[in-house]
């Protein structure tokens, strides 16, 4: 990509990626092709041939389960940050608590969620939220708030998502 994504494009990427990292449902299947084309365009990446074919919901559920939930020999790609950030791949470690604190600091509540705070889809939704708040501040002409929301995005990515 020749240029950085603007806030709306980043927000769209986070929204699509969050949908793709959640357990597949009929609604996802209905817009999967559009999501993948949008993501391909935004990130300036070719769409692999195997993703151009329509998928069946059962096929997506089986693939999701094998990658992220349960697989003989262990889950190949656990979608929880703590597995990658904690000693001995501990789930729900100190990094999970830091993620949950980031949400609480913004007034967001995770009590209704069945997933730990550091579930990848939830982290991506949080970044979507932060960008949305940034755009609200931009529309209000509040430059200090815009900088604050951008800094929160950068800190969250640097400290908890990218590692």
- pLDDT surpassing 80 at residue 50: no
Would you state the structure tokens that stand for residue 106, as one six-digit string? 């913004």
142 is a domain residue:
yes
15 is a domain residue:
yes
Q: Is 106 helix (H, G, I), strand (E, B) or coil?
A: coil
124 and 90 Cβ atoms separated by less than 8 Å: no
Average pLDDT over residues 15-26: 89
Nearest to 102 by CA among 151, 154, 158, 152: 152
CATH number, domain at 143?
A: 1.10.3480.10
Q: pLDDT tens-digit profile of 52-84?
A: 676 788 888 998 998 898 877 777 888 989 888
Identify the pLDDT of residue 71: 77
- The Cα 38–Cα 16 span in angstroms is 9
- Token pair 């991506």: residue: 124
Average pLDDT over residues 7-19: 90
27 is a domain residue:
yes
- The Cα 148–Cα 151 span in angstroms is 5
Q: pLDDT tens-digit profile of 78-98?
A: 898 988 888 877 778 888 899
Identify the pLDDT of residue 25: 86
18 is a domain residue:
yes
1 is a domain residue:
no
- The Cα 98–Cα 101 span in angstroms is 5
2 is a domain residue:
no
Total count of domains within the chain: 1
- The Cα 80–Cα 90 span in angstroms is 10
124 is a domain residue:
yes
Q: pLDDT tens-digit profile of 123-135?
A: 999 999 999 999 9
Q: Is 140 helix (H, G, I), strand (E, B) or coil?
A: helix
Residues 6+ apart with CB under 8 A from 144: none
Q: Determine the structural domain holding residue 106 and report its residue range.
A: 7-161
110 is a domain residue:
yes
């Amino acid at each position: 990509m020749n240029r950085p994504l603007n806030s709306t494009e980043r927000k769209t990427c986070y929204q699509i990626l969050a949908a793709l990292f959640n357990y597949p449902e009929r609604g996802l299947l209905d817009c999967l092709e559009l999501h993948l084309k949008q993501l391909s365009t935004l990130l300036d990446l070719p769409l692999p041939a195997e993703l151009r074919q329509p998928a069946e919901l059962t096929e997506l559920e089986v693939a999701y389960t094998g990658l992220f939930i349960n697989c003989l020999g262990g889950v190949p790609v656990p979608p929880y940050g703590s597995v990658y950030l904690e000693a001995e791949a501990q789930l729900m470690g100190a990094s999970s608590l830091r993620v949950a604190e980031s949400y609480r600091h913004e007034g967001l509540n995770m009590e209704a969620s069945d997933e730990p705070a550091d579930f990848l889809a939830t982290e991506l939704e949080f970044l979507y939220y932060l960008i949305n708040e940034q755009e609200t501040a931009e529309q209000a002409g509040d430059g200090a708030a815009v900088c604050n929301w951008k800094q929160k995005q950068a800190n969250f990515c640097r400290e908890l998502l990218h590692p």
